[in-house]
Amino acid sequence: MPLIPAGLRAFLVRVPFLVPAVRFLRRGPLARDRNLLITLIVLTLTIAVLSARVSAEWFSPALMIPIILVGGLQLRLRSLAKLLCAIVVGLVYVGVTGGFGYIGPGMLAAFGFTSVLAAVMARTRGKLGVQGLRGDVMLLELRDRLKKQSELPPLPKDWGAKVVLKQAGGSSFGGDFLVSLRDGDTVELALVDVSGKGVDAGTRALMLSGTFGGLLGSVDAFLPACNAYLHRQREAEGFVTAVHVRLNLATGEYVITSAGHPPVVTFEAGTGTWRVSPAKGVVLGVVPDLHCEPDQGMLRKGDALMLYTDGLIEQPGRDIDAGLDRLLGEAERLLPSGFSGGARNLVTSMSAGHNDDCALVLIWRP
């Protein structure tokens, strides 16, 4: 939206001495920044004059604090520095003309804190190359895309599925994510765990989710392709584990491959027990050629597959096998209430007492 309406601009260009001013306001790629700076400086000086000459109660110098915040959100760092200089000039003018009693130590501290905060915001936006709150909007869009990508595709009525993602510290970003797709009667899904937790691992998880989502369904050997991609990266930023499941919805046959990930467990309705999958492999990105030992089987009526991340079974000072045993014991509580209702309760129970990213995926045949 232009700063000057079209009708007013057409009128102004007819006034000879205003033509250079109009051209100045419209000239250059940073015209919006310059025009906003001029507006804020004029507003600052106006408040200073009204505070000193009219009433410091009606036009308090504290009204300049929102101006600093607007500058921190919208101006470049260099323009913000000019605005802060105008703020200082306005405060000195108020102090000299109206008396320094209007500007106490508390107000000066508020101005100092707000100025530092605005400078930090402007510097961060300068690095990102965005204006205003656009950087936050971009993160929200990325978060929504990641959540949408973690949703399983619609399954036939004779199948059920439940996905539960819980990030450390209640953050919107974490190191655990799911990618999936359905092609006819074939469903592929991969549960990935990036080292770290919360926001620290979230940025890398956002990048890898797009890459892994593109590879899923495009290559036959999904985990070896992911491993080759990570091995080509020059910067080693911790480890990545993943488990991949290819499931035939018509027959119930499945193939599980794992790369350093906690083992998938299957529920066999015929015996009423959970079985630990023997599929295993090396953590992604460590060796140039990844060799996986797959596990094959078939889901019959009442059977289920459960995928999860190490946040559910790892606890400080405890063996991981003990955590797996506890998970299988807690999973027995899913049977009376059904898999769908008990999935979140299982995650809540297993993650109590420690702060880590957790993910659980359940697929079953009712």
pLDDT by position in tens, the chain (length 366): 444 566 655 655 555 554 555 455 455 545 777 888 888 999 999 988 888 888 777 888 888 889 998 888 888 888 889 999 999 998 888 888 866 666 778 888 888 999 999 888 888 777 766 665 565 666 677 667 767 777 888 899 889 998 888 876 666 666 788 899 999 999 999 999 887 665 666 677 777 888 888 888 888 889 999 998 888 876 656 688 999 999 999 999 999 999 989 899 998 888 888 889 999 888 998 888 888 889 999 999 989 999 998 888 876 666 677 888 888 888 877 665 667 677 787 887 777 666 677 888 999 988
CA dist 352 and 358 (Å) reads 11
Measuring CA to CA, how many Å separate 205 from each of 227, 277, 339?
A: 15, 26, 28
In contact, 146 and 177? CB cutoff 8 Å: yes
Measuring CA to CA, how many Å separate 235 from each of 17, 180, 201?
A: 59, 27, 15
CA dist 209 and 148 (Å) reads 11
pLDDT for the residue numbered 1: 42
In contact, 257 and 192? CB cutoff 8 Å: no
Global pTM reads 0.69
pLDDT for the residue numbered 252: 92
CA dist 333 and 339 (Å) reads 9
Closest to 295 in 3D by CA, of 253, 358, 338, 329: 253
CA dist 29 and 92 (Å) reads 33
For 150-180, where are the alpha helices, taking DSSP H only?
A: none
